[in-house]
Structure 1
């Protein structure tokens, strides 16, 4: 089964998560590839789609939303999952605060009806921070803060693989729907 893990990543954290999801799905015998949206084929070239984006200012990156717009019909006809990656998830978890999904995810969910959405914490390097954050980072003597929970990411990818196996998904439709 051909699976696209399409992603938009500004500094590499989201790319690394997409690559990890693809690796886990390959371990479950799926032909999964992680590709930036600029290099991803049209959605109808895949049987299953996982889309992810870094989140800035409560929004997905433009290349992610543009891919959804261009491929909305094909995406709606396939099993799809969404994931978002951002600092808000790390900060919210640290203070036990609720973290809302990015603004555009709600409209994407209405368009393509994915099976789920997850918000993962990302990783930061001090050069990515605005000046006050870089100064604080320097005072704290930290150069990188990686908040990604790899066990949670692996479990989510394994759950996707289990759902695909349970539904017998093939060619974007369940085997039961073909009978």
Structure 2
């Protein structure tokens, strides 16, 4: 089973998460390719997709949204898991609980009806003051517990293991037989 773990990142945290998920899925015997969504060659050749994007302004990054829009037919026909990397766990209490409750549907609402979504997980990434404009830095001081690495690797591992359990129980995809001999010549 060929699995694309595709990502869109702003500062590298989502890329690191995607690489970690890819390695975890490969441990289960899956054929995994980890790639930036804007650089994926032949996305239609994959049997399943794990798509991750950093979240800015309550939306996936433009390149992630563009990938989903452009490849919606393939994504509708095959299993898809979505991962949104934001900052819900960095928020001051009780905001994390509210973010986990209300944020997931908002993040994927623009393409949820066009894609075969098996699951959508919202996790936290890394927040650094130098990545924020002044107004963002001020909001961080007011609303969050501060800069830091809020990634929950155990939660990500459990999620990847669940994906692997599903994918390893699905029937093997049918591939067209390899062509033998020279290609037919064209006049």
CA RMSD of aligned residues (A): 2.6
Q: Residue 148 of structure 1 aligns to a residue in which SS?
A: coil
Aligned residues of 2:2 and 2:48 also touching (Cα < 8 A)? yes
Aligned residues of 1:42 and 1:71 also touching (Cα < 8 A)? no
- Rounded to whole Å, the distance in 1 between the matches of 2:53 and 2:14 is 6
How far is the alpha carbon of 1:52 from its aligned partner? 1.0
1:9 aligned partner = 9
How far is the alpha carbon of 1:168 from its aligned partner? 3.1
Residue-pair matches, total: 169
Deviations 1:73-115 (A, max 9, x none): 0111111110100113432776443221263502322111210
How far is the alpha carbon of 1:31 from its aligned partner? 1.1
2:130 to 119, 127, 134: 127
Normalized against structure 1, the TM-score is what? Answer: 0.83
- Rounded to whole Å, the distance in 1 between the matches of 2:124 and 2:94 is 11
- Rounded to whole Å, the distance in 2 between the matches of 1:59 and 1:135 is 20
Aligned residues of 1:3 and 1:31 also touching (Cα < 8 A)? yes
1:49 aligned partner = 49
Structure 2: gaps (5+ residues): 176-187
- Rounded to whole Å, the distance in 2 between the matches of 1:167 and 1:29 is 13
- Rounded to whole Å, the distance in 1 between the matches of 2:140 and 2:69 is 38
1:106 aligned partner = 109
How far is the alpha carbon of 1:132 from its aligned partner? 6.1
How far is the alpha carbon of 1:144 from its aligned partner? 5.0
Q: How does 1:11-50 map to 2 (within 5 A)?
A: 11-50=11-50
Q: Which of 1 and 2 has greater Rg?
A: 2
CA gap 1:134/1:57 in 2 versus in 1, 3 angstroms: closer
How far is the alpha carbon of 1:43 from its aligned partner? 2.4
Aligned residues of 2:88 and 2:95 also touching (Cα < 8 A)? no
Aligned residues of 1:89 and 1:121 also touching (Cα < 8 A)? yes
Q: Are 1:160 and 2:153 an aligned pair?
A: no
1:170 aligned partner = 173
CA gap 1:137/1:51 in 2 versus in 1, 3 angstroms: closer
Structure 1: gaps (5+ residues): 173-179
Aligned residues of 2:79 and 2:118 also touching (Cα < 8 A)? yes
